[in-house]
Amino acid sequence: MTTIVRPAEQAAAATTTTEGCCLCQSRRQKLFLDAKQRTVVECEDCGLRALSPMPTLDRMIEINEETVHPFFSACLEDEESYRAYFEPKLDELQRIQPEGRLLDVGCGAGFFLDAARGRGYDVSGVDLSPVPAAHARDRLGLDVTVDSLYGLDAPAGAFDAVTIFQTIEHDPNPDALCAELFRIVRPGGVLMVTTPAADGFVARVMGRRWFGYRNVEHVSFFSQDSLRHALEAAGFEIELLEVEHGKKLSMKYVLNRLINYYYDHRTFLRNGLRVLHPAMMVLGKVPLFEPWAHLYAVARKPGAPESVIPEALRA
């Protein structure tokens, strides 16, 4: 059964685990909610919400391999909407870092990298899952490594720009991840981040049923404040931080995700796609989108030329 702690109970709750916050190491954490047999705690210092106990990176790799195949198929069918979503990101990137070496962390099937290559960037990617990475390499001819960012072991200051879209929430050590991102960006280089918004419209409306809390691949849940803390603690200077709309979604993609979030994903992988296939064929072209669902941040490693992000858009 899914339960949630009422606000009054949250205020009175003491620290719920002996683990420190995975972002700031504070031990001042309180129970936030239980969802899909997962306990989420909130740090009273940096504001990050995260699973407790926190799974290991090895366990996250196992979960990824359990869930990747049907959702990768749905992502391929949504390629057009992914590419449309990435175009404004590339427009923004070209305004602030018009050329150079670009790494996409959690690059998936390579849609963003392919588009960035078309804009003249020297691109490479890294992804934990061999399934989308194989598509990026074999179908799109991209330089993609199957590994974690830590395993990539890139030289310090190797990249002019690093992007990490819908990936930071998968890492059980966001402090270490942000530190590694900072290390591999050159002085003056740019970082772009997107992640589900724990303080966004969709999360506020859905409460304990918000998809972010129920996605088995998500272990950290960022608000604007906690994402700002994560990036600034690593050394980045934030130039833009906002809540944005998500990309357009096909009905098939939504149905796949709903089953994963709200039912047992292993049973669904065995039977669900076969049962739902006729409905998905009929509804697959219906466009949907998530309003004010994601955080979008642009940050720079100190030492840059003066930023060209318009003053009105700065965080």
My answer on whether 91 and 239 are in the same domain is yes
26: nearest Cα among 37, 18, 34: 18
What rounded mean pLDDT belongs to the chain? Answer: 83
Task: Supply the pLDDT for residue 179.
Answer: 98
In a domain, 4, yes or no: yes
pLDDT at 76 exceeding the cut of 60: yes
Phi-psi region of 6 (alpha: psi -120 to 50; beta: other; left: phi over 0): beta
In a domain, 73, yes or no: yes
What gap in Å lies between CA 166 and CA 192, rounded to an integer?
A: 11
- 34-49 pLDDT per residue, tens: 877 899 999 999 999 9
My answer on whether 49 and 115 are in the same domain is no
Domain that holds residue 199: 56-305
Contact 223, 199 (CB under 8 A): yes
Phi and psi dihedrals of 145, rounded to 5? -100, 135
Question: H or E stretch including 104?
Answer: strand 101-105
My answer on whether 15 and 107 are in the same domain is no
My answer on whether 145 and 244 are in the same domain is yes
My answer on whether 85 and 189 are in the same domain is yes
Task: Supply the pLDDT for residue 5.
Answer: 30
My answer on whether 74 and 37 are in the same domain is no
- 133-170 pLDDT per residue, tens: 999 999 999 999 999 999 999 999 999 999 999 999 99
My answer on whether 43 and 147 are in the same domain is no
What gap in Å lies between CA 174 and CA 163, rounded to an integer?
A: 15
Q: What is the SS3 assignment for 106?
A: coil
pLDDT band at 209 (very low <50, low <70, confident <90, very high): confident
In a domain, 143, yes or no: yes
CA 278 to chain centre: 31
Overall number of domains in the chain: 2
